[in-house]
Amino acid sequence: MSPRVTFPNKVLPYLLLAPQLAITLVFFYWPASQALYQSMLREDPFGLSTKFVWFQNFAKVLRDPNYLNSLNVTLIFAVATAVISMGVALVLAVMADRVVRGRGVYRTLLIWPYAVAPAIAGMLWLFMFNPTMGSFAYILRATGYNWDPLLNGNQAMVLLVSAAAWKQISYNFLFFVAGLQAIPKSLIEAAAIDGAGPTKRFWTIVFPLLAPTTFFLLVINTVYAFFDTFGIVHAVTGGGPGKATETLVYKVYSDGFVNLILGDSAAQSVILMVIVIALTAVQFRYVERRVHYG
């Protein structure tokens, strides 16, 4: 039995924890408590008086058709972004793992896009597919396809998902490469000796052993799609056309900072936080059951 490790100074552990606890308190718990308090207030149009209305803001938000539309848009956007970014990253990681010469250069080039800020990534895709001056938009029009994401909601969603997924592919790629490197090569060689082809080896050996990495990235990509894509939405579509790409996090900004409906905006932020916590809990409760940590 190994001896128990103890600190000779009883105050030292608390001093070491104090900076992290202070940061968590100031930058998470305090803003969250303020959002919860603000969500129960209602101000007059001129901001001269404030009334405590309990949960009336939440009831108003949940009855709002525009908010329900934003919820539907967010779910579609989150699922599409996570599936595409993780799928493409897995394919690129498998290809990079097979490269022998120039492997480091290949991996570095695939990681670079993650350093691009979300708003910049959105502007890059907007310029490439802008219906008036975008090079790819010109190619699409030359083939006879009527491309105009400024007027077509479905095309705007495709453009938004493409930009958000492209931004996240590098992050997913990095973890998939690390997961592939951790898989013992002896298992793959044994399967090859037994006659299993590359496709069968991947689905029966490699992919199951990547389950912990895939589950981790599923949680991260869900949170990313719900919260960290505000800059992309703001730069690419601004929630349009006709609220076709207005996600929950962008509606919080639109109602709170643009329309100055502070009570409703705060209630939406609390609901968004609850939705993400609930989705993460469901993922850990049900999806993690199928994950085996070797």
| pLDDT score at 187 | 81
* Residue 66 φ then ψ, to 5°: -65, -35
| 55, burial (CB in 10 Å: exposed 0-12, middle 13-18, buried 19+) | exposed
pLDDT in tens, 29-46: 888 888 888 888 887 766
| pLDDT score at 292 | 57
Residue length, the chain?
A: 294
In three-state secondary structure terms, 7 is coil
Q: Which of 172, 131, 133 is nearest to 149 (CA)?
A: 131
Calculate the alpha carbon distances from 71 to 237, 254, 263 in Å: 17, 15, 18
| pLDDT score at 64 | 87
| pLDDT score at 288 | 61
pTM above 0.85, yes or no: no
Helix axes 65-98, 56-63, angle to 10 degrees: 70
| pLDDT score at 184 | 83
H helix intervals, 1-128 = 12-24, 30-38, 56-63, 65-98, 103-111, 118-128
H helix intervals, 112-210 = 118-128, 135-142, 153-182, 185-193, 198-201, 207-209
Ordered per-residue pLDDT tens for the chain, 294 residues: 556 666 677 788 888 889 999 999 988 888 888 888 888 888 776 667 778 888 888 888 888 899 899 999 999 999 999 999 999 999 988 888 776 676 677 777 777 787 888 888 888 898 888 888 888 888 888 888 888 888 888 999 999 999 999 999 989 998 998 888 888 888 888 888 877 787 888 888 888 888 888 888 988 898 898 888 888 999 888 888 888 999 989 998 888 888 778 888 888 888 888 888 888 887 777 666 666 555
pLDDT in tens, 53-78: 888 888 888 888 998 999 999 999 99
Q: Which of 165, 152, 159, 170 is nearest to 79 (CA)?
A: 165
Give the Cβ contact number of residue 285 at 10 Å: 9
| pLDDT score at 172 | 93
What amino acid occupies position 5?
V
| pLDDT score at 2 | 59
| pLDDT score at 157 | 93
